């Protein structure tokens, strides 16, 4: 039998990569229904402000991502326990000169009640979402969602609202009593999509070389598993076979992103588990994520893009270390590492003292003098303690 290099033929067939065909997407384009209902006067659609950027979603459709004039739908978990997360998002906006609003007329999505305890229901969740969207609409600024769960949940709520007339009626009635309108944004945008969309601009402002850093990525379940067609997939990243978010951003920063065999696994957060059954969250985060990364890649940092993931992956390492497990990977959000690359202060902006796992080796590898930086933060804190200053301002953060 004559030799045929069949494996080379097979490989070369794959080389052009996967071509998405948006016109043959298996799922409906929610925009069609959204704009139809708008035409029928059933709801108001808030348009993405121009100039916007376009990124591809799972089936190759384009998603509009606003550049600025954004209304920041904050995350309770981020603001409460890892506040450097949202601070970094705001800091990047300011650094790039983008106009935004950090609203007080905003509640969280309350999906924690929905997913954890089920002490809520579809109309309540939809009303909470629309109340927030309506508040954004009133300001003329476009909502951008910080939390992965809020993002995923709002996509579900949108689906329910678009398909159930009765639910729309219910929510419209509630909004009327609150003096608000039934508003849905043209796109539900997660902040990490925004970071991804402007990654080249972030890289242009990069002042810290990160080319010696190896990172792993944990994709947030509620970002890419809930309503999966509305998540960003890019032929350049994983051949459009996995979400491009975070990985694309890190690559733009010159970071060496390495794969590991539990990439798709959840972090173990579990909503009610992280609070009342933490043995599960801890075991899962350590055994299925951190230890696997450590063993297969031994990264300098692991980067993710949701509240619960940062918390679970980071906090769970403490007890595991006490038991001599192979852990010890600092955990950050994409916004934090992007801000750091752009020269943000590790404590005044990234606020890494709220995180748990030792990140000093990471800073040393980057040539950042963390002792000096911590001292600077302590000095700022002293001024607040002594009453010389009431708060740390944005100007102080960059001083």
Partner 1 sequence: MPSQDILVIGGGPAGLEAARSIADLGYRAILVEKRDRLGGTPDEAGYAALTPDLRNAEEAMNEMIARVQNNPNVELHLGATVVDAKGQAPDFTVTIKNAKESKQVNVGAVIICTGFQHFDPGRETQKYGYYEFPDVITLVDCEKMLKAHRVVRPSTGEPPERVCFIQCVGSRDRRIGNEYCSKVCCGIASKEAIEIKQQLPNAKVFIFYIDMRMYGYWENEIYWPAQEKYKVNYVKGIATEILQRDGKLLVRGEDTTMRRPFEIPMDLVVLSVGMEPSAGTREMAKIFGLKQNKYKFIETIGGALDTVSTTVPGVFAAGACTGPADLEDSISAAGLAAVKAISTVRQAETVKA
Partner 2 sequence: MSSAVESQVLNAFPLDLSQDRYAEVPYEEKARLFEEVKTDIRYHDVLYGCYECGICVAACPSARFYDFSPRVIAQACAREDVELVYTLMNDSIWDCSQCFSCDRCPRGNSPGGLITILREVAVRNGLQSARDALEGYGRIIYKIMSTGTQVSPDMLQPDAFPDWGTHVHEIAENLEVWRRALPPETLHTTDIGWDVDEKTMIELYLIWHMTGVMDMIKEVDEGLFMILQDVMEERLEDAGYDDVTFD
Shortest distance, position 296 Cβ to partner 1, whole Å: 7
Cβ atoms 227, 63 nearer than 8 A: no
Shortest distance, position 215 Cβ to partner 1, whole Å: 17
Shortest distance, position 24 Cβ to partner 1, whole Å: 8
Q: Which of 133, 260, 271, 362 binds partner 2 (CB under 8 A)?
A: 271
Q: Contact between 363 and partner 2 (CB under 8 A)?
A: no
Considering only residues 249 to 268 of the shown chain, the ones binding partner 1 according to CB under 8 A are 259-264
Cβ atoms 241, 255 nearer than 8 A: no
Q: Contact between 9 and partner 1 (CB under 8 A)?
A: yes
In the chain, alpha helices (H): 6-14, 30-39, 76-81, 84-95, 111-112, 122-139, 148-163, 165-177, 191-197, 199-204, 221-224, 247-252, 272-276, 278-284, 291-296, 307-322, 334-341, 360-366, 370-385, 394-398
Q: Contact between 378 and partner 1 (CB under 8 A)?
A: no
Q: Contact between 23 and partner 1 (CB under 8 A)?
A: no
Instruction: Name the segment binding partner 1 (CB under 8 A); options: 6-14, 30-38, 122-130, 183-191.
Output: 6-14
Cβ atoms 123, 100 nearer than 8 A: no
Q: Contact between 122 and partner 2 (CB under 8 A)?
A: yes
Q: Which does 6 bind (CB under 5 to 8 A by kind): partner 2, partner 1, none?
A: partner 1
Cβ-Cβ contacts under 8 Å for 362 (sequence gap 6 or more): 213, 300, 301, 330
Would you give the DSSP letter of residue 22? G
The closest of 144, 131, 210, 212 to 172, measured between CA atoms, is 131
Q: Contact between 45 and partner 2 (CB under 8 A)?
A: no
Q: Which does 27 bind (CB under 5 to 8 A by kind): partner 2, partner 1, none?
A: partner 1
Question: Of 215 and 339, which CB lies nearer to partner 1 in the complex structure?
Answer: 215
Distance CA 339, CA 109 (A): 26
The closest of 271, 345, 304, 291 to 95, measured between CA atoms, is 345
Cβ-Cβ contacts under 8 Å for 128 (sequence gap 6 or more): 107, 109, 110
Category of 110 on φ-ψ map: left (φ > 0), alpha (ψ -120 to 50) or beta: left
Residue whose structure tokens are 């242009």 = 204
- State residue 70 phi and psi, 5-degree precision: -105, 145
Q: Contact between 242 and partner 1 (CB under 8 A)?
A: yes
3-state class of 389 per DSSP?
coil
Shortest distance, position 64 Cβ to partner 2, whole Å: 24
Q: Which of 61, 73, 74, 158 binds partner 2 (CB under 8 A)?
A: 74
Q: Contact between 87 and partner 2 (CB under 8 A)?
A: yes
Q: Which of 32, 241, 393, 399 binds partner 2 (CB under 8 A)?
A: 393
Shortest distance, position 64 Cβ to partner 1, whole Å: 24
Q: Which does 66 bind (CB under 5 to 8 A by kind): partner 2, partner 1, none?
A: none
Shortest distance, position 308 Cβ to partner 2, whole Å: 9
Instruction: Name the segment binding partner 2 (CB under 8 A); options: 47-55, 121-129, 329-337, 360-368.
Output: 121-129
Is the torsion defined by CA of 203, 205, 209, 215 positive or negative?
Answer: negative
Q: Contact between 240 and partner 1 (CB under 8 A)?
A: yes
Assigned token pair, 6: 């069949």
Considering only residues 89 to 108 of the shown chain, the ones binding partner 2 according to CB under 8 A are 90-91, 102-108
Q: Contact between 323 and partner 2 (CB under 8 A)?
A: no
Q: Which of 65, 210, 221, 244 binds partner 2 (CB under 8 A)?
A: 221
Whether omega for the bond prior to residue 38 falls within 30 degrees of 0, making it cis, is no
Shortest distance, position 98 Cβ to partner 1, whole Å: 35
Q: Contact between 150 and partner 2 (CB under 8 A)?
A: no
Residues in contact with partner 1 by CB under 8 A are 1, 3-4, 6-11, 13-14, 17-20, 26-27, 238-242, 259-264, 296
């Amino acid at each position: 039998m004559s030799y045929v290099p069949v494996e080379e033929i097979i490989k070369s067939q794959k080389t052009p990569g996967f071509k998405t065909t948006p016109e043959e997407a298996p799922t409906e384009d929610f925009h069609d229904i959204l704009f139809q209902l708008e035409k029928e006067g059933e709801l108001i659609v808030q348009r993405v402000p121009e100039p916007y950027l376009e990124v591809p979603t799972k089936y190759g459709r384009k998603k509009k991502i606003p550049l600025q004039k954004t209304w920041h739908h904050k995350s309770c978990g981020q603001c409460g326990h890892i506040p450097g997360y949202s601070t970094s998002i705001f800091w990047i906006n300011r650094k790039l000169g983008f106009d935004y609003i950090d609203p007080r007329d905003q509640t969280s999505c309350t999906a924690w009640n929905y997913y954890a305890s089920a002490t809520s229901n579809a109309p309540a969740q939809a009303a909470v979402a629309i109340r927030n969207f309506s508040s954004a609409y009133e300001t003329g600024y476009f909502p951008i969602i910080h939390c992965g769960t809020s993002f995923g949940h709002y996509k579900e709520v949108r689906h329910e609202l678009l398909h159930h007339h009765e639910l729309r009626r219910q929510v419209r009635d509630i909004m009327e009593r609150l003096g608000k309108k039934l508003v849905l944004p043209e796109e539900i945008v997660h902040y990490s999509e925004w970071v991804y969309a402007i990654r080249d601009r972030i890289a242009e402002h990069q002042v810290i070389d990160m080319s010696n850093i190896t990172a792993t990525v944990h994709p947030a379940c509620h970002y890419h598993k809930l309503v999966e067609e509305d998540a960003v997939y890019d032929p350049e990243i994983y051949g459009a076979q996995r979400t491009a978010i975070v990985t694309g951003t890190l690559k733009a920063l010159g970071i060496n992103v390495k794969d590991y065999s539990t990439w798709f696994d959840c972090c173990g957060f579990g909503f009610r588990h992280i609070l009342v059954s933490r043995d599960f969250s801890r075991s899962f985060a350590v055994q299925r994520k951190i230890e696997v990364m450590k063993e297969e890649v031994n990264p300098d940092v692991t980067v993710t893009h949701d509240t619960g993931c940062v918390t679970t992956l980071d906090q769970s390492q403490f007890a595991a270390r006490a038991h001599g497990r192979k852990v010890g990977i600092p955990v950050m959000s994409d916004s934090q590492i992007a801000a750091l690359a752009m020269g943000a202060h590790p404590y005044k902006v990234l606020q890494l003292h709220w995180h748990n796992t030792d990140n000093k080796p990471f800073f040393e590898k980057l040539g950042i003098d963390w002792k000096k930086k911590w001292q600077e933060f302590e000095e700022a804190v002293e001024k607040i303690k002594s009453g010389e200053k009431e708060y740390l301002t944005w100007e102080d953060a960059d001083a």
